[in-house]
Amino acid sequence: MISRRNLLSLAPAAWLAAPGEVARALQPAAAPGLTRVKIDAEQVTARVNPRIYGQFIEHLGRCIYGGIFEEGSPLSDAQGYRKDVQAAVERLRVPVLRWPGGNFVSSYHWEDGVGPWERRPVRFDTAWFAVEPNRFGTNEFIEYCRRIKAEPYLCINLGTGTVEEAANWVEYCNGTEDTHYAGMRRRHGYKEPHNVRIWGLGNEIYGMWQAGHKSAEDYAKIALEAAKMMKWVDPSIQLVACGAGDPDWNLAVLERLASIVDYISVHLYVGGDDYYELLGSVRRAEELLRAADSAIEIAQAKTRGRRAPGFEIPLPTARTQIAFDEWNVWYRKRDGRNRQVRNKLEEPYNLRDALWTASMLHVFQRWGDKVTMANMAQLVNVIAPIITSPKGLYLQPNYFPMELYRAHSGDRVLHTWTEGPRFATKAHGELEYLDVCATRAGRRGISIGVVNRHRDRQLAAHFEINGALPGGRGRRFVIDGPSPDAMNSFESPRTVQIAEGELSGLNDRFLVEFPPHSITLLEFST
C-alpha cells in the first residue's frame, strides 16, 4: 500500500526535464549539488547470482520458536509454521536459506533433531544459554525451504562435532542407496532425498566465543577431512570454508582447502549511532572482500595443479567464490547470552539502517562475479527485518530494500561512473552522497538503484545512458520516511514502506531528484 505521504513525496522528485534543457541548464558549475552519472548499457562489469539475496535462521531467541515456527498458535498451520510469517518471507523470494547456525551449530548434533518429536532430547544450548527442545530439525527446515521455494544451505558442526557425523548428515539428506542413514530418512517419512547442495564447514571457528574454537591450522585439518568424507558420500555438493576478517587465517585455510571447497565465507556486523559513520561502514565490507579475494588469488597460485592423492572425487575447477553469509547492522541489543532474556537480540531498525542495507546490496552486485552468495542475518525477530508477536507481525525498514532489489534488479551490472558531492567520515574516508548501481535484465530492461545518504537534503542526478535508448516511460520505487530515525511498529506499521510512481519523458539524458535519506529504484525498458 502506498501512503498519502509517500505519494506526495513522489511529485517533485519524479520531475524530468527535457534532455537538451538538462544538458544546457544543469552543468555541475551551475548546480553544485548535482551528481553526474554515466551508464554504459553495453558494458557488463559483473553478473549477479540471485543467491546474494539469501537469508539466515538460527536457533537463537525467537527466530525459530515464536518466529517461523510456533506450535499451537492460532496464526500457525497444523504443522506449526506461522502462516503470516511465511507470507512475509515469500514476498522476499528468498533464493537460499542458511541453517542451523551461527554459533548454535558448534554444539548442535543433527540426530537430536530428527525422528518423532516425543523421542527428541531436550538439550542445553551452550551458544546462547537457552533450552533447545529440538522440535525444529532437519526435516522441518527442508519443509520450510520447500514452502518458500528456497535452496537449503546446511552448516555442519566442526566445533564439537566429528567428520563422521558430518558425512552421516549428508547421507541422511542426500543418500539414495539402501544404507543406514538414507534408510533412517525414509523411516522418518521422506522417501526421496532432500538433495541439499550447499554445506558450510563450520561457523566462526576462529572465535573464542565458539564451542570448539580452533586455530587456522587445526580448523583446516578437520575441515579437509570432513570435506573429503562428505564428498565421498555425495560428490555433487558445494562446500563453504569458514573465513575470517584476518587475511592470515584465510590464507592458511585456503592453502589446504582451495582444491576442494567452492566458497570461503565473510561475516560483517556494524553499528553505532553516528549517522554518517554507520553509512560509511560499507567500506569495511569492501575491505573484507578485497582481503578475501587476495587470499584466494595467493592460495590458488600456490596450489594450482596440485591434487591431493586419495580424494577420488571431482574437485572444483572454478576459482573459489565468496559467500558473505552473515551481515547486518547489530549493536543495540547484545543480550544473546543473558539467561533471563527470551526475546534475545531483537534489534530495532530505522530508515538509516535500511539505507545501509541497500548500499550493501550494491556492494554485492558490483562484486557479483566473486560474491555469488550472501545471507542476511537473520530472518525473523533476531536482528531481523520481520518482528512477530502472538497476535501478528510488522516489517522493519530493512525489509524493504531486500524486497525491492530482489524483485526489480537485473542480473548484469552495468559500468557506472559517478561524480558528485561527498561526505566525510572518520573511519572510512569520503563517500559520495548518492550511491548508484545500475543493472540490466536481458537486453531491454535497466534498473538503477540510488541511495541518497544525505541526512537532510534532496539531491539531483543527471543521468547519461550510452548504448541504449530509454523507452520514454518507466517506474520509480522509493523507500523513505519523515526522518532517518523513522521506524515501524505494531502501532505504526507503515511509517516506512515502498512507494511506486511513474516516470515519463525518459531519453538518453534525464534528471531525477531524490528525497533525503531515501532509497530509489528507477526501472525502464530500452
Active site residues: 204, 326
At 187, list the grid cell.
523411516
Q: Quote the crossing angle between the two packed helices 399-408 and 83-92, to the nearest 10°.
A: 50
Task: Find, among 238, 263, 241, the residue nearest to 370 by Cα.
Answer: 263
The residues, any chain, with a CB within 8 Å of residue 61's CB and separated by 6 or more, are 128, 336, 341, 342, 343, 344, 345, 346, 381, 382
Tell me the HSE value of 122 on the side-chain side, using a 13 A CA sphere.
4
Give the CA distances from residue 465 to residues 87, 451, 452, 474, 508, in Å, rounded to whole numbers and listed in that order. 38, 19, 20, 14, 5
Distance, CA of 397 to CA of 358 (rounded, Å): 11
The residues, any chain, with a CB within 8 Å of residue 301's CB and separated by 6 or more, are none
Phi, psi of 214 (to 5 degrees): -140, 160
Report the sign of the C-alpha dihedral through residues 94, 95, 99, 101, in that order: negative
Whether the Cβ atoms of residue 512 and residue 522 lie closer than 8 Å to each other: yes
- The 3-state secondary structure of 268-295 reads EEECCCCHHHHHHCHHHHHHHHHHHHHH
The residues, any chain, with a CB within 8 Å of residue 169's CB and separated by 6 or more, are 110, 138, 154, 156, 181
How many other C-beta atoms are found inside a 10 Å radius of the C-beta of residue 11? 9
Helix (H) or strand (E) holding 45: strand 35-47
Distance, CA of 75 to CA of 498 (rounded, Å): 25
- The 3-state secondary structure of 298-320 reads HHHHHHCCCCCCCCCCCCCCCCC
Distance, CA of 349 to CA of 509 (rounded, Å): 36
How many other C-beta atoms are found inside a 10 Å radius of the C-beta of residue 245? 15
Distance, CA of 90 to CA of 87 (rounded, Å): 5
Phi, psi of 415 (to 5 degrees): -60, 125
Q: Is 521 helix (H, G, I), strand (E, B) or coil?
A: strand
Residue count of the chain: 526
Report the sign of the C-alpha dihedral through residues 124, 128, 134, 135, in that order: positive
Helix (H) or strand (E) holding 166: helix 163-174
- Local structure of residue 81 (DSSP, 8 states): B
Cα of 111 vs its chain's centroid, Å: 28
Whether the Cβ atoms of residue 154 and residue 99 lie closer than 8 Å to each other: yes
